[in-house]
A and B are shown apart, each in its own frame.
Chain A
């Protein structure tokens, strides 16, 4: 295909600024689908994504557009995940493009994510042009937003199309801008195959379907290809393009093309995002830059609420992993929760999405333990290991020192709330770096923050303290030495492994106290007094008591109405079933979840 007639691009935007809606309208206008065929949002095909308004798995779609110059152009639009957790996946999707459309909400202006995404696009040498969306809203301020884009981001914005994706205004203008402003690919068709993997999905009939952007050369059926990072090889069974919501087979993909291939690959781990595909018979000399193996940042224990569903949970995780190479899990046993899994995620959102999918798509009832980041434990014997489960922390006498992950965080906030947000960051052990005023009423606060301070309820706290006006973005900076301790919770003098976690020593008392208070409310009264204690290195630092109940008796049982009595006992028994047994104490599932959101008790 003539590369000059190809445009490979993506759309970047802050969440809710209308990226998916614009994508839908463009697909509609290019006539690939009739309006009737359109699903509401073609790109986001998973329920959860639609409900949350975010996109998790990147996907691509090809459109044919007949431009005003009379030529027919092939557009490959690559959708990018819209959240900081998926930063690496976003970067690989961007690497598959030559340009990007920046969507900015005419009522909201530039947000933290907008900036992060634009900078990322610019880092990948993409040509970015802005469009101003939601101009039909009464509170739209298109001119102010244009100025802001120029001031803050530094890209030309005065001729930005003014559109309403929702109501189909200005879409034609966007399509024309794609032709004019996004550069055509310039690969070498005669060079050895060099293709970038930007995503892959698992299909039970065809195996892994690999999504690629061909940089040089071509790929076609029967060709033997090699994945340069993993070293695995496979014979191509099928190649093709992305139709909206379906795959369209073709003869070959050549330099500049975006498409897919299958090669009877059973394991998605073999086709890592960012890897380079080349021809075994005629390999390229070096792989495309930027590949890295993604590592989980956040771990937590996943347990079935009913231990009988352990194997159901295992099957479900197995299936989810087929489509999500960044999901990690291994079996784990907890004294409190029984058999389950320790699972690793890219971030808290990723964790929540997986948890929700397990509960919704696989109908599982889960108990999740407190999320933990990965700590580096330097032992006195000179060895270092990654700690993903607080329970595995060795005796303090064996620990030389520990390190925790630190992120560079950027918080964009209206000036009214700068004080509140700075206080929050202070509380979360943030190290202040700088304040940049992007206009009179808005500032970007830069902080170094320990990751373990932001994975629990930082987003919630940020929202509540800024009344929703703050947006947050972060990237991993590295590891730093820190004074960390393991906080244990004892219920009726028994340590509950599922409630242990690592905390900075200065925050241990406060956190321990809050947890005890919360648990006191969650644990029902028993026939005996139940002490709830928080301890560090065997020393109790906080304590609450659940008083014993002394009476549980139906004094009057009258007229032989036994059914009523039985119903009462059944109800009582049913309530107990939903509890977790810890020693003699029955702890409701909700107790394990409630301690994750301690900031709310303030």
Chain B
């Protein structure tokens, strides 16, 4: 894509642009890449199946949160000044629940303080009930170029049972508005295996959504997590057979409609012109790229160190109220040391669960994260990264699951991936890639 653009600049013979681009490219080439996740932990109300960090709260506290968030962004940008940002993702909670000005302010702070890559993917999750046209326009204007709409279902009965605050009409309106606001990269989240959901009902949701031709569809089946209201409710859930039927029908139908599956639950519209509509940000997680989580409870991995921010709202706010406008960021924000490892100072109460990944953990992650992608992992890359042959480490496991028809690999074509059957039971296979 870059190459194509460069040629384009040459053709246009606009020297100024060309020079500027070359400088930009030079910077980007020398810079290491990083992705940013920004957590917005607010919702009108929590859905009955949700176990993410979110809650409703007063406007005043939301504003205090964004003040703290912006302070964190500025502080972090100083620590990660050698990195250029490849993608930004506003997730939640419901980012569209809060005033769009707050989101735009956070994004502009990122753009000002971090070194941004050209054409960085900037996504935001929105909820049909709260994403009114004005908000969507504001997002677009601020530079957000990808919208993710949580539809889940287009059956109002099903939506009600999930505890969603929107209905089918609201979704269709929001989708229309997003198009009108100028978004050309839209994702729609849908769920299968919902309480009392029939196969036909699920397929009609899928049909209606595909008719809209979104660039990306996330389709996942409902998982009842402990600690959610659903966990203790007497639900009539589709059995495993029906669940799988929906799941397999999704793949077949979407393939027919011009979508390709690139990850267990993610599908992108095939695009002849553009490189891809696959979500860059999402792939960073599976390919173990650097990502920095900003905001309450956000998870990070930079240079093989994982950690997460505190999940304590008051604590999070207090930390940044204390350090605002001072120069002690380095006491609060961890700083990568010479070896790329993190030094945590005594005063750092923001970061928790800091884990330096040793070679064993890195190999494990390489496998169980990489295998989530349909393309699988590269055998050659494994060797390059870890300096040893993948079969030396995982030979018996690979052979066991290849024999069972759950894994397949090719040395010549350089892949190891889950088969169709393997994807259905990926946890079983992945668990075996953990080393004793």
Contact = CB atoms under 8 A, between A and B. Distances in A.
Contacts of A550: 240-241, 243-244, 424-425
Contact of A576 (B52, B265, B298, B431): B431
Contacts of A566: 364-365, 368, 434
7 contacts: A550-B241, A553-B423, A556-B265, A559-B39, A566-B364, A569-B434, A576-B431
A568 B428 CA distance: 11
Given A562-B306, A562-B365, A566-B365, A555 B220 contact: yes
Contacts of A440: none
B432 to A, nearest CB: 7
Nearest 9 pairs between A and B by C-beta? A555-B220, A572-B431, A552-B425, A573-B431, A569-B431, A552-B427, A561-B299, A560-B299, A553-B426
A562 B289 CA distance: 13
B109 to A, nearest CB: 20
B104 to A, nearest CB: 22
Contact of B223 (A556, A562, A569, A572): A556
A553 B427 contact: yes
A549 B301 CA distance: 34
Contacts of A572: 427-428, 431
Contact of B432 (A555, A560, A562, A573): A573
B150 to A, nearest CB: 12
B431 A563 contact: no
Nearest to B189: A556
Contacts of A552: 424-428
Interface in B300-329: 300-301, 306, 308
A106 B37 CA distance: 78
Interface in A517-565: 527, 549-563, 565
Contact of B298 (A551, A557, A559, A565): A559
A551 B244 contact: yes
A563 B428 contact: no
B355 interface: yes
Nearest to B285: A560
Interface in B386-436: 404, 406, 423-428, 430-432, 434
Contacts of B430: 569
B221 interface: yes
B291 interface: yes
B91 interface: yes
Given A560-B299, A562-B365, A563-B308, 4 more contacts: A527-B406, A553-B425, A556-B223, A558-B91
Given A552-B425, A555-B264, A560 B293 contact: yes
B419 to A, nearest CB: 12
Given A551-B244, A569-B368, A560 B427 contact: no
A575 B298 CA distance: 29
Nearest to B245: A550
B120 interface: no
A431 to B, nearest CB: 51
Contacts of A557: 264, 285, 372
- Interface size of B as a range: 35 or more
Interface of B: 37, 39, 52, 91, 220-221, 223, 240-241, 243-244, 247, 264-265, 284-285, 291, 293, 298-301, 306, 308, 353, 355, 364-365, 368-369, 372, 404, 406, 423-428, 430-432, 434
B60 to A, nearest CB: 26
A551 B192 CA distance: 13
Given A527-B425, A549-B425, A576-B431, A562 B243 contact: no
A570 interface: yes
Contact of B434 (A551, A556, A559, A573): A573
Given A562-B369, A563-B306, A566-B365, A551 B424 contact: yes
A399 B372 CA distance: 58
Contacts of B427: 552-554, 568-569, 572
Contacts of B432: 573
Contacts of A570: 431, 434
Which interface residue of A554, A560, A565, A584 has the most chain B CB atoms within 10 A? A560
A559 B425 contact: no
A571 to B, nearest CB: 9
Given A553-B427, A569-B368, A563 B300 contact: no
A559 B299 CA distance: 7
Given A555-B220, A566-B364, A560 B37 contact: yes
- Interface size of A as a range: 20 to 34
B244 A562 contact: no
A573 B301 CA distance: 24
Nearest to B53: A559
B241 to A, nearest CB: 7
A562 B301 contact: yes
A126 to B, nearest CB: 61
A552 B427 CA distance: 6
B220 A556 contact: yes
A560 B306 CA distance: 10
A560 B243 CA distance: 26
A541 to B, nearest CB: 30
Contacts of A561: 299, 308
Contacts of A551: 221, 240, 243-244, 247, 424-425
Nearest to B92: A559
A565 B368 contact: yes
A271 to B, nearest CB: 47
A574 to B, nearest CB: 9
A575 to B, nearest CB: 9
Contacts of B37: 559-560
A584 B405 CA distance: 13
A555 B219 CA distance: 8
Nearest to B52: A558
Nearest to B222: A555
A552 B425 CA distance: 4
A558 B92 CA distance: 10
A501 to B, nearest CB: 32
B424 A560 contact: no
Nearest to B434: A573
B285 A562 contact: yes
A549 B423 CA distance: 13
B293 A555 contact: no
Contacts of B39: 559
Contact of A563 (B243, B355, B423): B355
A527 B421 CA distance: 10
A555 B247 CA distance: 10
Given A559-B52, A560-B300, A527 B240 contact: no
A566 B240 CA distance: 24
B436 to A, nearest CB: 8
A558 B301 CA distance: 14
Contacts of A569: 368, 427, 430-431, 434
B220 to A, nearest CB: 3
A554 B223 contact: yes
Given A550-B241, A570-B434, A573-B431, A559 B424 contact: no
Contacts of B243: 550-551
Contacts of B404: 527, 584
Contacts of B424: 550-553
B282 to A, nearest CB: 9
B45 to A, nearest CB: 19
Which interface residue of A550, A554, A559, A562 has the most chain B CB atoms within 10 A? A559
A56 B141 CA distance: 86
A569 B364 CA distance: 11
B395 to A, nearest CB: 18
A341 to B, nearest CB: 27
Contacts of B355: 563
Contacts of B264: 553, 555, 557
B370 to A, nearest CB: 12
A559 B295 CA distance: 12
Interface in A371-404: none
Nearest to B284: A560
B68 to A, nearest CB: 19
Nearest to A576: B431
